[in-house]
Amino acid sequence: MTLGTRAAQAQTPLPLTPTLDCVVTSASGELTAYFGYTNTGPNSITIDIGDDNAISPGIEDQGQPTTFDVGAYPKVFAVPFDPVIFPAVSWTLNGLEATGWTPRPAE
């Protein structure tokens, strides 16, 4: 019975969305993506580092939170990345993805 209950809970959509706030370029050309989140539900939510809370490419744990309080929280953590090696970095949270890209030059 417990396994069936867990499966049903896993299929229930959570009111949690990752956000990309901005991508900043340093003087050396390294980029930093700033991520936040919005939890529109009535309670805090915990999601451990893993498939449902991971940064890619690279190691899954790059300082992202595992407890998500109710409300909107911009710039909760930052992920530096080298645009020559990786043109983008993504945070997958709750089955949704926020992605920071290499900024385009002004046209």
Q: What does the pLDDT average to over 1-10? A: 37
Residue 100's pLDDT is 94
pLDDT over 60 at 3, yes or no: no
Residue 50's DSSP bridge partners are 53
pLDDT for position 103: 72
Strand partners, 78: 34
Please give the angle made by the CA atoms of 89, 42 and 99, to the nearest 5 degrees: 10
pLDDT in tens, 45-77: 999 999 999 999 988 899 999 999 999 999 999
- Residue 67 to residue 43: CA distance in whole angstroms: 11
Q: Does residue 11 register a pLDDT over 50?
A: no
- pLDDT(7) > 50: no
pLDDT of 5 reads: 35
Would you say 4 and 56 are in contact if contact means Cβ atoms under 8 Å apart? no
